[in-house]
Each structure stands twice: as structure tokens, then as C-alpha cells.
Amino acid sequence: MSKRKNTFTRFIEDIVDDTKDFVDDILDRPKDLENDARDAVKDVVDDDESGPLSSSSSEVAQLEAALAELTAKVNQLAELQLAATPAPAAKPSTRSAAA
């Protein structure tokens, strides 16, 4: 293995090359972060567009129909319960008799 000549120009060249690599790394990290953030936002937007909002209108309609049906049944049961309970007999008021 031959020994490399360490001249002043070689030393400056190494510093410049290392600095260039360092700057490239510094610029690559934010660029990667920016790309990852852009991809994440794009995924969220894509999920929102094709996700539950587009198919939920039919589900909401089904839920509204089921709610209307349940409301009708509850009203019918309430009417049956009112019809089945006897009306309370009117009690003479003790205050009005005493006065």
C-alpha cells in the first residue's frame, strides 16, 4: 500500500470535498422531510376524498330510515301505554272543602 502525499493543496481539496458532502447531507435531510410531509398530506387528502365521506351518504340515509322506524314504534308503544293505564280518579281537595 502506497502512502499518499499530504500536500497543502491535497489538504484543501479534502476540506472542500468534506464540506461539499456535509452541505449535500444538510440539504438532503430537509428535502427528505419535505417529501415525507408532502406524501403524508397527500395520503390524508386522498383518504378524505375516497374515504367515509363519499360512501356515508347512503349509510346516513339508512340510519335516518331506521331512526324514523324506531321513532314510530316508540310513539305507538307510548300510545298503547297511555290507552292501557286507567285515568286517575279525581280526589276531592281537602283545602277547597275546608275553605
Hey, what's the cell of 50? Answer: 375516497
Hey, what's the cell of 41? Answer: 398530506
Hey, what's the cell of 23? Answer: 452541505
Residue-level pLDDT at 69: 94
Residue-level pLDDT at 47: 72
Residue-level pLDDT at 12: 93
Distance of CA 67 to the CA centre of its chain: 25
> Of 48 and 72, which is predicted with more confidence?
72
Q: What one-character DSSP code corresponds to residue 51? A: S
The pLDDT tens digits for 26-66 are 999 999 989 889 888 888 888 766 655 555 778 888 999 99
pLDDT value at 72 more than 90: yes
Residue where the block lists cell 297511555: 82
d(C-alpha 82, C-alpha 80), whole Å: 5
Of 62, 64, 61, 84, nearest to 72 (Cα)? 64
Hey, what's the cell of 94? Answer: 281537602
pLDDT value at 4 more than 70: no
Residue-level pLDDT at 61: 87
